[in-house]
Amino acid sequence: MTLRRTKNGVAYDPVALDRAERRFWGDIWDSVPEEVARDHGIERRDFGPIQASVVSDLGQVGMLNLLLGATGDPAGEHLGAAAAWAEERGARPFVPLTPDLAGSAGAEAWLRQSGFEPAYAWMKFVRDPHPPRFPAPEGIEVVELGAPDQEPFGTIAAIGFGTPAWAAELFAHLPGREGWRCYVAKIDGEAQACGAMLIEDGIAELGIGATLEEARGRGCQTALLHRRIRDAAEAGCHTLLVETGERVPDRPAASYRNILKAGFEEAYLRPNWKRPR
């Protein structure tokens, strides 16, 4: 175990967080219907410790084209094959690199030598399961989903992320899947936002937070965070994990602020390496 602590003493294991992330994205890809995957070039393949996933029809979208597990391949033996596989499918994959682990320096050296450059980074946040110390916004109903067709979970995610309508199929089949807790936030009875959580081995990874444009700024994501924190605690989780893009002057920071207000603490900034155009 590689135990670390945030500035305020929240303990976390970055190796375990990487493992949770691998399951999180792997499950998303595995949930996509075969016909949809075939039509849009949605594939996942393992290269040794590297989990590679691509969406050929959205090959320039970094978060949908990932090579995970770089710290486990410091010599680049498998990274090279995974990168070639993704690029053959029209993707420019992100290679997230968790800092300060045993293989981090070697993997970074390989990436630099192979023409990759550090791009926009994601901040990892962690939290212990203490109860929310912020109120749930009034006028917003959060509903947990038990089946894919109960509410338009995938559609909200696709629209909120600015992807084509067919990309709803990337997320639509997660409600009811083992280990997953999926939610929508409703205003006046209409679903306006979504959020999910995957629970495994005491870690709850929160993600797929998206809000339709007309409902932004009304507290939907705050309400979804409040509910998921409570549910993760009730499920016996010891660590809650979430991430968003790093805070830089020219990018919106609403998600970053919401996460901090929800009691999460910055754990580490993780660069996403990619080849330049």
pLDDT in tens, the chain (277 residues): 789 999 999 999 999 999 999 999 999 999 999 999 999 999 999 999 999 999 999 999 988 999 999 999 999 999 999 999 999 999 999 999 999 999 999 999 999 999 999 999 999 999 999 999 999 999 999 999 999 989 999 999 999 999 999 999 999 999 999 999 999 999 999 999 999 999 999 999 999 999 999 999 999 999 999 999 999 999 999 999 999 999 988 777 889 999 999 999 999 999 999 998 7
Same-domain check for residues 75 and 187: no
Same-domain check for residues 214 and 111: no
Domain membership of residue 135 (yes or no) is: no
Domain membership of residue 131 (yes or no) is: no
CA distance to 34, 200, 204, 247, per residue, from 174 (Å):
15, 15, 15, 29
- Number of domains within the chain: 2
- Domain extent for 146: 141-269
In one-letter notation, the amino acid at residue 169 is: E
- 110 in Cβ contact with 97 (< 8 Å): no
- State the residue for tokens 């075939």: 38
Domain membership of residue 239 (yes or no) is: yes
Domain membership of residue 5 (yes or no) is: no
Name beta bridge partners: 68. 51
Same-domain check for residues 103 and 153: no
Same-domain check for residues 83 and 145: no
Same-domain check for residues 100 and 155: no
**Where are the alpha helices (H) located in the chain, listed in sequence order?**
14-31, 34-40, 77-88, 104-113, 153-160, 220-234, 254-261
pTM for the model: 0.95
Same-domain check for residues 148 and 53: no
Structure tokens at 239: 């660590």
Same-domain check for residues 99 and 156: no
Same-domain check for residues 114 and 159: no
CA distance to 34, 126, 202, 250, 267, per residue, from 13 (Å):
35, 10, 12, 31, 10
Q: What secondary structure letter does DSSP report for 132?
A: P
Domain membership of residue 77 (yes or no) is: yes
Same-domain check for residues 150 and 265: yes
- 118 in Cβ contact with 272 (< 8 Å): yes
Q: What is the CATH number of the domain that holds 163?
A: 3.40.630.30
CA distance to 92, 97, 192, per residue, from 104 (Å):
21, 7, 40
CA distance to 10, 138, 147, 246, 277, per residue, from 16 (Å):
15, 35, 28, 21, 33
Inter-helix orientation angle 254-261/220-234, to 10°: 40
pLDDT at 2: 80
Same-domain check for residues 97 and 149: no
Domain membership of residue 53 (yes or no) is: yes
